[in-house]
Copies of this chain bind each other. A is one copy, B any other.
Amino acid sequence: MRKTTITIKDIARQLGISKSTVSRALSGHSDINEETKKRVLELATRLEYQPNIIAVNLKQQRTNTIGVIIPETVNRFFAKAVGGIQHAANLAGFNVIICQSDESLVTEKKNLQALLASRVDGLLVSVSGETDHFDHFETVINKGMPIVFFDRVVESFAVSQVISNNYDISKEATQHLIKQGCRRIAIIAGPQHLSNSRNRFRGYLDALKEADIPLQERLILHSNFKLVRVGEFARYLATLKEKPDAVFAINDMAALEMMHIFKNMGLKIPDDIAIVGFNNEAICKYVDPPLSSIEHPADELGKMAAELLIGQITKGEAMAMRHCINSRLVIRGSSYRQTT
């Protein structure tokens, strides 16, 4: 393959100087004769010299690479987050390796091992939907590996975390439904071993409590992030003699699936059942009625997480920071009753 890789040795030989000097000229490091520096630089560009980053890494004991573990990129939230991460990382001269856990704990552990084996300088993690214990991360943290969690965080760890205001926004969404006259609000909640799902659920509960609306267990589905049980739940809800008059769903796909099923059953959205989703995917505005949802600044989350991590890696900032970035409720036809 690449037959003619040229190294500092080649430059040194051609210029009749030592490779130490070449190295110093190239890195612009210590005091060095302007003249020799210029000659080195000129020859380097003429030869299209590219430093061998692997050698640099070995010497430096750093890879300038951060590892990212996310559930899946087909989830638009994480696709956007990855965008933010990459921009921030590239700006700081870091590479990014992305692994997908596919919402599986086993895969998440494998990802972690793979990234450690690749000697990444730090880790950005959003936990899988299956992850109900966290010792694999604990081990890594105890070894001193810089790590920042975002969105699906592990609140108990004393490391930096970036989240959105799950509690507040869920409360706001629920209150919005209440204001539309809804009293029997079903919820598809996320796995309760994840703190962000718990916080969202709490927001829902508190909104009900403050409005003196009794909680109805049968209107609650604790789902993972897959859609498997959503259809089943929708059909179940429709059989109740006191049907729900609203659904608040953990993600847009679940919301859309429900809306689809309800519509097929002849139920009117939002008048029979109002619906609010989560993530504000591009699709929301194309369905009929358009789906209310919660807009997350996923790219901001990713960017912030990356910046925190890089600060930790390069400047050794050890303080565990918690950042919260606000989401926003986007009200559309699926939850807005003009008749009220």
Contacts and interface: CB of A to CB of B under 8 A. Distances in A.
Interface of A: 1-3, 50-55, 57-58, 63, 72-74, 76, 79-80, 82-83, 86, 90, 95-100, 114, 116-119, 143-146, 253, 256-257, 259-260, 281-283, 285-288
A117 B98 CA distance: 18
A58 B97 CA distance: 19
A98 B100 CA distance: 12
Given A74-B76, A114-B90, A53 B119 contact: yes
A50 B116 contact: yes
Contacts of A1: 144-146
A50 B90 CA distance: 28
B90 A80 contact: no
A73 B118 CA distance: 23
A2 B143 contact: yes
B54 A119 contact: yes
A2 B145 contact: yes
A187 to B, nearest CB: 20
Copies in the complex: 2
A74 B80 contact: yes
Given A1-B146, A50-B117, A118-B53, A73 B63 contact: no
Contacts of A282: 253
Contacts of A98: 96, 98
Contact of A79 (B58, B79, B97, B281): B79
A339 B118 CA distance: 60
A282 to B, nearest CB: 7
